[in-house]
């Protein structure tokens, strides 16, 4: 007999963070769930990207499409299956979708995702983060990932495409994943990317990031390159900061009408703000570590003692709290996020 549908109370302010975390863990555990607004609160209203993630999850788990805030629609839980899929994730963004779909696909035995949508969304991870940094993050848990850009698309455009390949795993999981101190800043690398032949924009974005960092006494290496794209416009800046004990990544996508220098400066300002925080890594990486740490603690990655993950985020944000809450609802783990951003997930005593 399948487990009963898991009901999670969700305020409107929590929907953006709790919905994807619950979708991911539903596909891992095969348990159905639904989100309900608290008594006397307005009903939850899903947005386009919520629906896009639900459609993608239905494909991955062979589930029927239906009521937006219940998954699966028929109340019968389904875990993901190893497979190769072509998905249009639209407003969700290709890399945001990867962050939630890769864990269940990896645990199902691997496969490939061909995703269409924005490869450089206005918020969240860009394709540079997914291809250059996430493989290292997953490697900390004994997992592998390869992401290849086919065609770039900068928000609000949705015409990008990438391929993510998740091979079957045979490695042993770690006993402890710990990232609590960043240490001394060793190196900063700036990558300015643009759609097609926009060499001037690429250089101005690069210069905007370099100028702000130099004003703060931070030296950096910078490169600029054009990406294959069907669009004539669009650009972004990606920054990787290598510390003594950790790495942090930041990005900014050019807003409509924004000066290229301003795009670069926005990316650089994120690094400057991070340096004033206690964080050992950036918020998106901390969220990935907490999510995979929950799977480790529940034994989903294989036997591991004590199977604990500890990470210091820049601060406590809604995404981290949502992952912790969903983890405790779907898995046999204890997950905490302190006000200063200290995160810990460990097996629940049985």
pLDDT at 1: 45
Q: What is the pLDDT of residues 281-312, one digit of tens each?
A: 999 999 999 999 999 999 999 988 899 999 99
| Owning domain of residue 236 | 185-275
Collapsed DSSP state (helix, strand, coil) of residue 24: helix
Whether residue 84 lies inside any domain: the answer is no
Q: What is the pLDDT of residues 135-172, one digit of tens each?
A: 999 999 999 999 999 999 998 888 899 999 999 887 88
Q: How many structural domains are present in the chain?
A: 1
Please give the C-alpha separations between residue 39 and each of 9, 11, 44, 255, 321, in angstroms, as whole numbers.
9, 10, 12, 39, 21
Burial of 306 (0-12, 13-18, 19+ CB in 10 A): exposed
Collapsed DSSP state (helix, strand, coil) of residue 284: helix
- With CA atoms as reference, report the closest residue to 309 among 54, 300, 168, 159: 300
pLDDT at 40: 86
Burial of 154 (0-12, 13-18, 19+ CB in 10 A): buried
Whether residue 191 lies inside any domain: the answer is yes
Whether residue 26 lies inside any domain: the answer is no
What's the mean per-residue pLDDT of the chain? 94
Q: What is the pLDDT of residues 176-189, one digit of tens each?
A: 999 999 999 999 99
Whether residue 198 lies inside any domain: the answer is yes
Task: State how beta strands 33-36 and 6-9 pair.
Answer: parallel
Whether residue 171 lies inside any domain: the answer is no
Which stretches of the chain drop beneath a pLDDT of 50?
Answer: 1
CATH number of residue 254's parent domain: 3.30.360.20
Alpha helices in the chain (DSSP H): 15-29, 48-61, 94-108, 127-128, 134-139, 199-215, 260-275, 283-297, 318-330
Task: Please tell me the distance from the alpha carbon of residue 307 to that of residue 297, in angstroms, as a whole number.
Answer: 5
Whether residue 217 lies inside any domain: the answer is yes
pLDDT at 280: 98
pLDDT at 304: 86
- With CA atoms as reference, report the closest residue to 260 among 219, 201, 306, 194: 201
Whether residue 246 lies inside any domain: the answer is yes
Residues 175-207: b if buried by 16+ CB within 10 A, e if exposed: eebbbeebeeeeebebbbbbbeebeebbbbbbb
Task: Please tell me the distance from the alpha carbon of residue 268 to that of residue 251, in angstroms, as a whole number.
Answer: 8
Whether residue 206 lies inside any domain: the answer is yes
Task: Please tell me the distance from the alpha carbon of residue 51 to that of residue 133, in angstroms, as a whole number.
Answer: 27
Residue the block writes with tokens 């307005």: 42
Task: Please tell me the distance from the alpha carbon of residue 317 to that of residue 17, in angstroms, as a whole number.
Answer: 10
Residue the block writes with tokens 């898991």: 6
How does DSSP classify residue 312? Answer: E
How does DSSP classify residue 340? Answer: T
pLDDT at 93: 86
Task: Please tell me the distance from the alpha carbon of residue 300 to that of residue 206, in angstroms, as a whole number.
Answer: 42
pLDDT at 248: 98
């Amino acid at each position: 007999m399948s487990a009963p549908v898991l009901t999670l109370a969700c305020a409107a302010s929590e929907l953006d963070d709790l919905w994807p975390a619950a979708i991911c863990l539903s596909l891992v555990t095969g348990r159905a769930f639904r989100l309900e607004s608290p008594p006397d609160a307005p009903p939850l209203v899903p947005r386009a990207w919520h629906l896009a993630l639900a459609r993608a999850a239905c494909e991955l788990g062979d589930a029927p499409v239906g009521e937006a805030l219940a998954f699966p629609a028929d109340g019968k839980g389904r875990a993901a299956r190893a497979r190769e899929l072509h998905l249009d994730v639209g407003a969700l963004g290709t890399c945001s979708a990867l962050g939630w779909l890769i864990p269940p696909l990896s645990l199902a035995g691997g496969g490939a995702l061909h995703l269409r949508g924005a490869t450089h969304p206005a918020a969240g991870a860009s394709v540079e983060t997914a291809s250059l940094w996430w493989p290292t993050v997953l490697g900390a848990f004994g997992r592998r990932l390869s992401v290849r850009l086919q065609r770039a698309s900068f928000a609000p455009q949705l015409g990008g495409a990438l391929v993510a390949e998740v091979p079957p795993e045979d490695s042993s999981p770690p006993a402890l994943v710990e990232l609590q101190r960043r240490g001394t800043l060793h190196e900063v690398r700036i990558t300015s990317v643009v759609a097609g032949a926009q060499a001037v924009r690429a250089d101005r974005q690069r210069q905007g990031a370099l100028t702000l960092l130099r004003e703060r006494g931070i030296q950096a290496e910078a490169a600029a390159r054009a990406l294959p794209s069907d669009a004539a416009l669009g650009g972004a800046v990606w920054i990787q900061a290598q510390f003594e004990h950790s790495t942090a990544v930041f990005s900014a996508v050019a807003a409509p009408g924004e000066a290229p220098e301003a795009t670069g400066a926005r990316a650089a300002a994120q690094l400057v703000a991070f340096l004033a925080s206690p964080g050992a890594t950036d918020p998106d990486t901390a969220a990935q570590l907490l999510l995979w740490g929950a799977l480790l603690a529940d034994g989903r990655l294989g036997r591991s003692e004590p199977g604990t993950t500890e990470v210091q985020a820049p601060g406590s944000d809604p995404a981290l709290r949502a992952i912790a809450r969903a983890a405790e609802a779907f898995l046999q783990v204890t997950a905490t996020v302190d006000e200063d951003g200290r995160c810990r997930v460990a097996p629940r005593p049985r």
